[in-house]
A and B are shown apart, each in its own frame.
Chain A
Amino acid sequence: MQAIDSKKNKATIIVHSGDMDKIYSALIIGNGALSMGMEVSLYFTFWGLQRLKKGELDKGPLSKMNMLGLGKMMIKKRMDKANVASLEKLITDFKELGGKILACDMTMEIMGVKPEDLRQDLIDDYCAVGTYIQEAMDSRMTLFI
């Protein structure tokens, strides 16, 4: 076991959910951590990985009160009013600040997702659980969203 103080100033986040509000959480936390000087890796898996398909980033439902998209529409309106940044801006900033995006290759296999279906310009690597654990062992913060 590594001692806590030997860990890097790093955050490793699993993005399992594809819900719009949870993608917001993942990208806001990721950008916040980068802004405060941490290294950040986002591991997109299962429903989260669907959001890396071309044109799908903001297509997820709300995790609660989606009401066939009506709830999402209302929340989006309120977000616009509050001047909340778009997911597209957040993911662009995330990459600009040096954040890493990893895609789970098992999800790709079981869900029939091909690399060309995904936004390969955003993805740093394709990997499995071992890479996540390796990075998580070395991180001060790890989250599952």
Chain B
Amino acid sequence: MAEIKIDVKGQTCPVPLVECRKALRKAATGDVIEIEGTHPASKKEIPMAVKALGYKILSIEEEGNTWRIKICKQ
């Protein structure tokens, strides 16, 4: 089970969502993806996409204007 990190800091719509989906497609079952970004709307839209795809959000953190979302591809 790998942990995959994606950095989309400074990227805007739709890149954070797209990079998240690309990573989830490539990941194996059980892998954890950590995505870090600054685009405000993506902080709530990535969890929407994860839910629609049937995967699991492990945590959402925020530090200043940077958010970090951990997802498990179950």
Binding site for B on A (CB under 8 A): 28, 31-32, 34-37, 82-85, 90, 93, 96-97
Chain A residues, Cβ within 8 Å of B53:
36-37
Known: A32-B17, A34-B18, A90-B14. 11 other contacts (CB 8 A): A35-B20, A35-B21, A35-B49, A36-B49, A37-B52, A83-B12, A84-B12, A85-B12, A93-B18, A97-B21, A97-B22
For chain B, residues 37 to 74, give those with C-beta under 8 angstroms from any C-beta of chain A: 48-49, 52-54
In Å, the complex CA distance between A84 and B48 comes to 22
B10 within 8 A of A: yes
In Å, the complex CA distance between A28 and B20 comes to 15
A82 touches B14 (CB 8 A): no
Q: Report the minimal beta-carbon distance from B63 to chain A, rounded to whole angstroms.
A: 20
Residue on B nearest A96 in the bound complex, by CB: B22
In Å, the complex CA distance between A85 and B15 comes to 7
Contact of A97 among B10, B15, B18, B54 (CB under 8 A): B18
Interface of B is mostly: helix
- Interface size of B in residues (CB-CB distance below 8 Å): 17
Q: Report the minimal beta-carbon distance from A61 to chain B, rounded to whole angstroms.
A: 23
Of A34, A36, A84, the most chain B CB neighbours within 10 A belong to A36
Chain A residues, Cβ within 8 Å of B22:
93, 96-97
Closest 10 CB pairs of A and B: A35-B21, A35-B17, A36-B49, A37-B53, A36-B52, A37-B52, A31-B14, A93-B18, A32-B14, A31-B18
Chain A residues, Cβ within 8 Å of B14:
28, 31-32, 35, 85, 90
Q: Report the minimal beta-carbon distance from B10 to chain A, rounded to whole angstroms.
A: 6
Assuming A31-B14, A83-B11, is B48 touching A36 (CB within 8 A)?
Answer: yes
Chain A residues, Cβ within 8 Å of B48:
36
